[in-house]
Amino acid sequence: MTLIDTLFNEKTTATMLSVAPGTLRRWRWAGVGPTYIKVGHAVRYKAAAVDAFIASGTVVPGVAGLS
């Protein structure tokens, strides 16, 4: 991590993903969702990790389900 990495707290990340903060907690417990780091007891999400998580859900119409 460099000093210029942007870190978001749980509430900000939840807002960005349009989910409740509790959803992020459940995702962490289940081992899914965006990667995160711990700063003491605080959970933080790198901006790049949130972007990558959003991009991983990209669906290209007309490609899935064609045989």
Q: Per residue in 22-31, pLDDT tens?
A: 999 999 999 9
Q: Per residue in 17-64, pLDDT tens?
A: 999 999 999 999 999 999 999 989 999 999 999 999 999 988 888 765
Question: In what helix (H) or strand (E) does residue 37 lie, and over which residues does it extend?
Answer: strand 37-39
Q: Delimit the domains of the chain by residue range.
A: 7-55
DSSP assigned state of 44: E
Is the CB of residue 21 less than 8 Å from the CB of residue 12? no
pTM above 0.75, yes or no: yes
- 3: pLDDT confidence band, cut at 50, 70 and 90? low
Q: Give the pLDDT of residue 39.
A: 87
